[in-house]
Amino acid sequence: MTETSIAVVDDHPLLKRGVGVLFGQDSGYSLVASGSKAADVCLIMKQFCPDVLIVDLNMPGDAFRAISDSSRLFPKIKILVFTASDSTEDVTRALESGAKAFVQKGGTADELLEAIETVLRDETYISPCFAVKVIKTLQNREFLKKESGNAKLNVREEQLIRLLFC
């Protein structure tokens, strides 16, 4: 069994160290690189080509742009957003930008590991405690569109609904 290579980009040194310890304890993973700003996302992908890149949204630079650019340039690398944000807009924007998972930092180590395993199977992961909020947001958007005479969801909204109910 080969190790899954992981990289993390977050501006909190303690968090990066904790993630490094987590992956150091599990022989199935290896932390190959870390960065602290959005500009590091593409650099790490290019230089280290990790299997999974864990990215925070709240750090110097435009994390959404970095996710979008990197997912386009390196489509085989799975991007997992690991953030304290509780905004449903951030979830949809991150997924639309190319992230394959959205995990809240308040979760457990097992949840982060589950998210990694999920994206490695080419599936999408959203923290379970957050999935209900995302569904409600999409339902509200659908209701508002119906009220305005346009009842269609966009392609990404339809994908999110299918992923959440499967």
Between 150 and 159, where is the model more confident? 159
pLDDT at 87: 85
Query: How do residues 8-21 score in pLDDT, each as one tens digit?
Result: 999 999 989 988 88
Angle of the 155-165 helix axis to the 88-97 helix axis, nearest 10: 110
| The predicted structure's pLDDT at residue 128 | 83
pLDDT, position 48:
96
Residue 150 pLDDT grade (very low, low, confident, very high; cuts 50, 70, 90): low
| 147: pLDDT strictly greater than 60 | no
pLDDT in tens, 75-112: 999 999 999 998 888 988 998 899 999 999 988 889 99
Residues with Cβ < 8 Å from 34, sequence gap 6 or more?
7, 8, 9, 10, 16, 20, 44
User: pLDDT digit string (tens) for 46-81?
Assistant: 999 999 999 999 999 999 999 999 999 999 999 999
* pLDDT value for 86: 84
pLDDT of residue 20: 85
Closest CA to 70 of 103, 102, 48: 48
Whole-number percent of the chain with pLDDT over 90: 56
- Tell me the whole-structure pTM to 2 decimals: 0.82
DSSP secondary structure letters along 33-58: EEESSTHHHHHHHHHH--SEEEE-SS
Q: Binning pLDDT at 50, 70 and 90, where does residue 165 land? A: low
